[in-house]
Structure 1
Amino acid sequence: MGFKNQFFKVASAITGGVSSFVSVAVLGEFLGSGDIDLLVGVLSAGSIAAASGWNTVRLHKKQKKELFQKKQLDILYLAAQHRGQLTPTQVALQTNTPIDETKEILDSLSDAGVMELQVSHKGNLVYTLTDEVFLEDYMEKIG
């Protein structure tokens, strides 16, 4: 996990904690005042804010998953163009993706059985497409 993601999670937790503390304090004040209409309004606004926040988090996760899947497809296409073999460095440079993210995507393809991780005779990590039929068909199409 990158520094930005960790920072975002910590900042969100702190903000959520402070927000909860303030909400409880304000709610206590409203309960003490006896103004039921104001209390209902505050609770309604809080519920709407919480639902909105949850929806934003859910949407972000969906977009992140779709982007990850697109990058997987891009790497598979790239592998087909390079006779089925790629190194993490090669993918990172050609897709302009950080090496740690590239390695995570390649590992996910390996875990799914689509690519196989091998070590070259020089000691380099090489990911190879496991579907030779697909690769042969693709190579025939492009000449």
Structure 2
Amino acid sequence: MIRKAKPSDIPAIVDIAVESVSQNPLPVKIDREAIAQMIQFCLNPAHFGYVIEDDGVVVAAMGAISQRSFWYKGLQVSVLLYYTRKPGAGILLMREFARWVKSRSGIKTAVIELEPDVDERLVSFLSKAGFGRKTINMTYVREPGGQS
């Protein structure tokens, strides 16, 4: 069952988020409190916070924030979390997200950053769903003990 996330889902979503960022980890300390705060933020109707529940257990989650663009009139949406523990369930979240984005005329762009080892089927799905502009993200990662 796909549904809007609610406050009682936050602990389960935090666990999913931690699992997500642990798949291809960066050398940073995970902050569960920060994750919980951002999930709480995503529960606001101006933002996107959905889960998939299977037998009463949250098995997938997606969260995105909507904000005013800094260079054009309108809103930009940025996906913060997209992860599933149940194969095939995540596509339901992406479909709902695509519907949500398209139903809000104020949203002019929506950005989903994909991991380097993303399944090409997801890329194909997103392209067909209208997320067709590919960009390159370059990320600086401070190594543990690094100075600069």
Interval of TM-score (by shorter of Structure 1 and Structure 2): under 0.3
Q: Which has the higher contact order (CA 8 A, sep 6+)?
A: 2
Larger radius of gyration: 1
Give the TM-score of the pair, scaled to structure 1: 0.24
Greater helix proportion: 1
